[in-house]
Amino acid sequence: MKFSGNNVLVTGGSRGIGAEICKTLANFGLKVWINYRSKPEVADALKDEIEKNGGNAAVIKFDATNETEFIEAINLIVQTDGELSYLVNNAGITNDKLALRMKTEDFTSVINANLTSAFIGCREALKAMSKKRFGAVVNIASIVGETGNAGQVNYAASKGGMIAMSKSFAKEAASRNVRFNCVTPGFIETKMTEILNDEIKKTYEANIPLKKFGTPNDVANGVAFLLSDYASYITGEVLKINGGLYM
Ligand code: NDP
């Protein structure tokens, strides 16, 4: 894959899908800014691993829900590298319960963590990218944002909102040569899905046409494609990475 840009910021990049995105993009020659919130040792270990494989990485601590910290982080990247070419809004949380038991705070905190944080990132990245008349953003949404899901009214709303938000950003940013796309992963093997017991996992797998959960690498490859020059005529798109579970 070919990339005209030079660097990328991945929020929540130190573990799970985010870490795999960092490794994949580093393999393609991008300098990767690994954002972490809580565990510096995990982010540092990933940076070391990328560098051992000949890649270029830096770690950057901020809470993606903290507007000031997010803005300062993007400013620091632009000051250091002279640009921000790509952003992946990957940071996300769940807080599942049935709607009748869901407190308003359970709803707004997930919207804040998944959607508002991505909005801040998209807006600030667009400012930086507009100056260069070049850039691309991929937002990690979810199949649940397309289909809805019992027990995930908050999470589904955040991810559905992310899809609509990305399309709107895509319309506003196209004239500046900045692209916005989403991926919508289905069930992917990470800590987020580790909590499912084997029986539930088997039931889910039986419903997936490709009969298995996806891997973080499956998601990372889709993200790399959407950021790359190979996708230079693709904006406002939603790439499903779900084994055929929702077509
Ligand atoms: P993990 O729970 O394994 O990782 C989530 C990452 O997000 C962690 O690094 C976490 O950091 C970080 N994070 C959460 N909140 C913040 C914050 N406020 N600021 C900075 N970082 C934050 O999840 P996955 O790797 O599974 O998920 C990654 C993305 O993919 C999420 O957006 C998720 O919704 C989405 N997704 C996942 C699917 C799956 O099946 N796994 C399916 C569809 C979508 P920390 O270590 O500090 O908590």
> Model confidence over 83-139: pLDDT tens digits?
999 999 999 999 999 999 999 999 999 999 999 999 999 999 999 999 999 999 999
What pLDDT, on the 0 to 100 scale, is given for residue 185?
A: 98
Q: Domain boundaries in the chain?
A: 7-241
For the segment 63-70, the average pLDDT, to the nearest whole number, is 98
Q: What residues form DSSP beta bridges with 57?
A: 32
HEC secondary structure over 23-69 = HHHHHCCCEEEEEECCCHHHHHHHHHHHHHCCCEEEEEECCCCCHHH
**215 pLDDT above the threshold of 90:** yes
What pLDDT, on the 0 to 100 scale, is given for residue 196?
A: 85
Check if the beta carbon of residue 120 is closer than 8 Å to that of residue 111.
Answer: no
For the segment 205-234, the average pLDDT, to the nearest whole number, is 97
pLDDT band for position 237 (cuts 50, 70, 90): very high
What pLDDT, on the 0 to 100 scale, is given for residue 214?
A: 97
Q: Around Cβ 125, how many Cβ atoms within 10 Å?
A: 28
CA distance 110 to 238: 21
What pLDDT, on the 0 to 100 scale, is given for residue 190?
A: 87
Find out whether the beta carbon of 243 lies less than 6 Å from any atom of ligand 1.
no
Check if the beta carbon of residue 181 is closer than 8 Å to that of residue 237.
Answer: yes
What pLDDT, on the 0 to 100 scale, is given for residue 192?
A: 77
User: How is residue 246 written in tokens?
Assistant: 């929702």
Active site residues: 155
Burial of residue 236 (number of CB atoms within 10 Å: 0-12, 13-18, 19+): middle
| Percentage, residues of the chain above pLDDT 90 | 96
pLDDT band for position 216 (cuts 50, 70, 90): very high
pLDDT band for position 191 (cuts 50, 70, 90): confident
- Give the DSSP letter of residue 214: B
pLDDT band for position 194 (cuts 50, 70, 90): confident
Find out whether the beta carbon of 39 lies less than 6 Å from any atom of ligand 1.
yes
Query: Nearest C-alpha to atom 46 of ligand 1 is from which residue?
Result: 38
**168 pLDDT above the threshold of 80:** yes
What's the CATH number of domain 7-241, 2.40.128.110, 3.40.50.300, 3.40.50.720, 3.40.50.10490? 3.40.50.720
What pLDDT, on the 0 to 100 scale, is given for residue 89?
A: 98
| Percentage, residues of the chain above pLDDT 70 | 100
Find out whether the beta carbon of 154 lies less than 6 Å from any atom of ligand 1.
no
Find out whether the beta carbon of 163 lies less than 6 Å from any atom of ligand 1.
no
Q: How far is the CA of 175 from the centre of ligand 1 (A)?
A: 31
Task: Identify which of 37, 71, 208 to mutate to test ligand 1's pocket (most ligand atoms within 8 A of the CB).
Answer: 37
